[in-house]
Chain A
Amino acid sequence: MSLLQKIALRFFALVILLVAMNFIYIAFFLESDLQKHSEIINDLRVIPENTEILYIGESSNNTAAAMDMDKRTISGFLTDYFPEMNVASITKPASHSGIYKTLLKNIEHAKSIKTVVVTLNLRSFNAEWVNSGLETPLQKSMVLLQDYPPLFNRFMLSFKGYPIKTERERSIIIHEAWENEKLTTPHDFPFESSLAWRNHFEQVGLKNASGEYDTIRSLLARDYASTYAFQIDLDNHPRIADFNEIIELAKRKNWNLVFNLLAENTEKAEGLCSKDLVFFMRENRDKLVKYFSKKGVKVVDNLEILDNAQFIDQEWPTEHYFEQGRKTIAANVAKAIRNFHTEAFSPVEYYAEPKYHFHNDCEGDDVWMLMSSRTREEAYSGEYSSRTDQDNIYSLNFTYPYDKIPDDKKTEVTVSMMLKGPVHDDAASFIVDISGGEKERFWSGVSLKPLSRGTEGWQRVSHTFFLGEAANGGELISIYLLNNTGNPIYADDIDIQFK
């Protein structure tokens, strides 16, 4: 046998071996690997087969504040506009177009999808995000979902076929990008790079009223400068390439495509770093809108739609919005989708009247704090109730901005719940807690023992708390059941009425 034949024979044997291994891998190992390394697959699998509108985004979609009465996601609000359509969402924190691309490629079962809304986050184009430390785990979680034979994907995972960099290396790359990517403007602008701008805020900084270096504002301005002072290179930016792949995918799948350009805190950016920073934000926005619109994508421009008060995080730049902000974004996205589904669109008007009566049947339609306490173990109505026990002593928690309650309804509040369990125990109580503001915290608790009928079956327990002057000026009111009995108590049909 010649040398070449000998090698060819062994190579052929190896190929057969690998093919056999691929089958063995699929049969016995793939699923556990997916659960271990690409858990996001479960989010894809739960997308209903009859989904018609799919929203894909990062933490901007599902981050809510404690004081939001309605804690639903942007995609959740979207369902209000299309009540007859099936809307689903995928939310993966810190993700971006590269991740969305892989996830969208893996949605095989939901063939009824007509429209896909993809989050377009301006901040995800900056050097810090492109080279973020979260990138390695994110990219790793995508490896097994690639469109290759599963054993090959496993090979790529084992042999680190995804970008890996240490924190130190990332930090150096980020600083180099800040330094080397020169900023050009048509007007006079004193800094040649975002690093120079950063350094200016670090060294010279912003002054407070007494003319001293204002550390907090200076460092925030520094972060804003490096976060937004960049100019997207449409030809070479990796995010653009990924969005382009999404566009191609949408064409193949016959999806309507909407890019949801998220709102940024331009008000704060201008306040901290002058109009120059907003110039870069607008320039990038214009580039993206023009570029993707040309490619037939409906781009929703939310960049400047929200004022500073709608941003949850005030200490660093994020796209985490309060309820009103999420609703505004959702409304804008809905308007864009209306182009594709005119018939299904139904106008929505939130908050026509100030609310002072609240009800939660624990079924999940009304999102309050501690939704994780919901259980199917018991229910007075519907399928769910809120379970409290020795590990989770708080029930579903009504949390609401106190200043949004009409002034003439702030005298007292009646709390009423259907309860099951040892309610007659002295250690179970209703709590009203009003915090924030300049006044002292208002806290009032009442034991349920005298209020209950002494049985452990379902019973309605009610109590009226006097609020009055002592509570005025508070910012956030919380009302909940506190269970220190050590035994489970279930709460359902929670009713809160201000008078």
Chain B
Amino acid sequence: MLFNTVDFVWFLPVVILGYYLIKPKYRWALLLAASYYFYMCWKLEYIVLILFSTAVDYFCGIQMGKRASKWQKRPFLLLSILTNLGLLMAFKYFNFFTTSAEDILGAFDITVALPEIDVLLPVGISFYTFQTLGYSIDVYQGKLQPERHLGYFALYVSFFPQLVAGPIERFSRLTPQLKKAHAFSYENLQKGLRLVLFGLFAKMVVADNFAPIVDEVYSDPEAYGSGGVASAMLFYSFQIYCDFFGYSLIAIGSARIMGIRLMDNFKTPYLATGIADFWQRWHISLSTWFRDYLYFPLGGNRVKLLRWVLNISVVFIVSGFWHGAHVTFLVWGFIFAVTYLLENAMTSLFKARTQVPFFSIKHLLLSLKTFLIVTFAWVFFRSETMLDAGTVFRTLLSGDRGTMELTGASFAWIIFGLFLCIDILLFNKRFDQWIENKSWLFRWATYSLLVFAILLYAGVEDQPFIYFQF
């Protein structure tokens, strides 16, 4: 079930109504059933994967809780890691490794036909496996007591608002909220609905109107010339932002109505002054996950320079690989590693201040630089192959006018301008907080415009959330 569908428009109120009508001690059962239903609407059979991952991690957590030393806990941590990464490996990376192996062997004139797994990638597998992995590591490190209530643990793994594309929540943050007996609050309803509304606007009006143009250009960049490619690169930067930002807001808003606060996943990332700042504003739940469960265990920055360079590179490249089993994602991660390190070196070299006054000329120029780097990197993220990415850049630099005109570009530019203004207006703020202090007339005028825009200007082509494929 997708957030931007009729099904969800009915599903959410029904669940919320049920949530507040039944006794708090049974709410976990309702939410768990709703979450499994939510997932099974997409593909019934794949619920087995969630159940399997839940069962193994629950068992490992309990077993680790019974043991005092890390040495005794380790086999269960390994079991949890192998199970989750095994699922990812089987469904997401298997074909990448087999085809890569075929290519490498082919380079030595050895022709082999390795098996391929021809199945649909289970939606959200990268998210819920990382979420449960985080739980197991925390239990192993003694930061958490294992959850004994299987129902709550299963709900932590599968809580529907953030099940398929995050935010990747920590057990210590989410589960206590799931257990709490939230009373109905008008404030939660109001804030939640505001977030859902703005999230739908970002996804359906902004991202979904950019998507057809981006798809059109990426399918044949040369036909659209330098101008078309430049426009598509720009639109894609905002498409992926609004798509994922919109999803996250709907997730946060839906949970908020039930009194559950999910972590923010975005904070106006394109106004970041550098790559480090960008990653503190973009997909925050993933970057903090990698920080806590990969970067810190590797030693973080409390190591020698070369080791630190290696740590940063590993984190970014693994992050790229998390997104997909393609060389293009690895290159995407590598670009961020290189630019992060370069920026860091420049800052140290010139002893530059990392904090700049907001909306000063310097801030705007640094944001522009960051945006250009990110937009450059998105080309690899969007392209299916390195050759495709090469074609995009070649066309961009060719100065050709192309033979085709972009369809719907003028409308897209209007939306682009509008959203840019909104994004600047919401710098370091969330929509629900920003609108809170406005007069009722302004608020209702804004709501009306957003509703009208969503109804009238939503892209009508089917555009699933981009991050569902991860």
Contact = CB atoms under 8 A, between A and B. Distances in A.
A160 B455 contact: no
B454 A158 contact: yes
B2 interface: yes
A24 B449 CA distance: 13
7 contacts: A13-B444, A18-B451, A21-B455, A140-B460, A158-B460, A159-B4, A159-B5
Nearest to B208: A158
B81 interface: no
B361 interface: no
Contact of B6 (A18, A25, A161): A161
B204 A158 contact: yes
Contacts of B442: none
A136 interface: yes
Most chain A beta carbons < 10 A, residue from B186, B444, B451, B460: B460
A160 B4 CA distance: 8
Given A6-B186, A21-B452, A136-B462, A160 B6 contact: yes
Contacts of B189: 7
| Secondary structure of the A contact surface, majority rule | helix
B385 interface: no
B9 interface: yes
Interface string B174-213: 0000000000101001000000000000001000000000
Nearest to B185: A3
B458 A158 contact: yes
Interface string A159-184: 11100100011001000000000000
Contacts of B460: 37, 140, 157-158
Contacts of B448: 17, 21
A154 interface: yes
B455 A151 contact: yes
Contacts of A443: none
Contacts of B306: none
B164 to A, nearest CB: 15
B349 interface: no
B456 interface: yes
B66 to A, nearest CB: 43
Contacts of B6: 155-156, 159-161
B22 interface: no
A478 B209 CA distance: 47
Given A17-B448, A169-B120, A155 B462 contact: no
A29 interface: yes
Contact of A21 (B120, B204, B444, B451): B451
Nearest to A136: B462
Contacts of A136: 462
Given A7-B186, A158-B454, A158-B458, 12 more contacts: A3-B186, A18-B451, A21-B448, A21-B452, A21-B455, A155-B6, A158-B455, A158-B460, A160-B4, A160-B6, A160-B462, A172-B120
B450 to A, nearest CB: 11
Nearest to B121: A168
Contacts of B120: 168-169, 172
A117 B120 CA distance: 42
Contacts of B9: 159
- In this complex, which of A17, A158, A168 has the most chain B Cβ atoms within 10 angstroms of its Cβ? A158
Nearest to B457: A158
A17 B197 CA distance: 15
A157 to B, nearest CB: 6
Interface in B451-470: 451-452, 454-456, 458, 460, 462
Contact of A155 (B2, B444, B455): B455
A29 B458 CA distance: 13
A473 to B, nearest CB: 44
A269 B67 CA distance: 69
B462 A17 contact: no
A332 B187 CA distance: 69
B462 A29 contact: no
